[in-house]
């Protein structure tokens, strides 16, 4: 604090106290985030840079199987000494609260349409089986009406393929 030019580095292994993420994927309660932290004292505050690593868990947006993806995010934020400054974050009682910064950065890095693999074929619109597990899958006979309801379900829950592709980019 108030010693421009000084710098500290820390590695924090954080057990996530509460799950966070989007509707499809997130960092789960109890999982570990490693935060490699660098704090530099400037004239008007503490500049915090960090590399954040962890694992996100969720569902494939096309075939709905459980998936895990690595989380890797870099952040850099100034925590200002004075609340008069036009900075979003402040040093409070000699303390900086990293949690909102880390959460926001991780959530922003998560895909809205995560996929188990880029070429996931989703579910059969007629019977709902996962097409990657059933190569050559096709329906020869008219579908049993008892399965039709499942087909409707797959239609409404399987996102459009072009949407999914643009979400990944």
Which parts of this chain interact with Zn ion (CB under 5 A)?
Answer: 60, 62-63, 116, 120, 124, 126-127
CB of 106 vs Zn ion, minimal distance in Å: 22
- Comparison of 88 and 144: residue with beta carbon closer to Zn ion: 144
CB of 8 vs Zn ion, minimal distance in Å: 43
- Comparison of 104 and 159: residue with beta carbon closer to Zn ion: 159
- Comparison of 33 and 123: residue with beta carbon closer to Zn ion: 123
CB of 120 vs Zn ion, minimal distance in Å: 3
Determine how many CB atoms are found less than 10 A away from the CB of residue 90. Answer: 17
* Residue-level length of the chain: 169
Give CA separation, 93 vs 2, 81, 106, in Å.
13, 10, 26
Residue pair 56/94 in contact by the 8 Å Cβ criterion: no
Phi–psi pair at 133, nearest 5 degrees: -80, -10
């Amino acid at each position: 604090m108030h010693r421009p030019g000084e710098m500290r580095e820390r590695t924090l292994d954080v057990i996530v106290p509460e799950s966070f993420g989007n509707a499809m994927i997130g960092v789960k309660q109890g999982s570990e985030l490693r935060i490699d932290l660098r704090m530099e004292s400037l004239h008007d505050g503490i500049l915090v840079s960090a590399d954040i690593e962890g694992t996100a868990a969720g569902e494939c947006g096309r075939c709905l199987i459980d998936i895990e993806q690595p989380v890797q995010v870099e952040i850099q934020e100034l925590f200002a000494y004075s609340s008069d400054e036009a900075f979003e974050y402040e040093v409070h009682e000699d303390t900086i609260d990293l949690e909102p910064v880390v959460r926001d950065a991780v959530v922003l890095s998560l895909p809205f349409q995560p996929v188990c693999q880029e070429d996931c074929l989703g579910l059969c619109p007629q019977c709902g089986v996962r097409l990657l597990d059933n190569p050559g899958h096709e329906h020869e006979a008219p579908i049993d009406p008892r399965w039709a309801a499942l087909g409707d379900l797959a239609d409404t829950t399987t996102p459009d393929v072009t949407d999914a592709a643009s979400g990944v980019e």
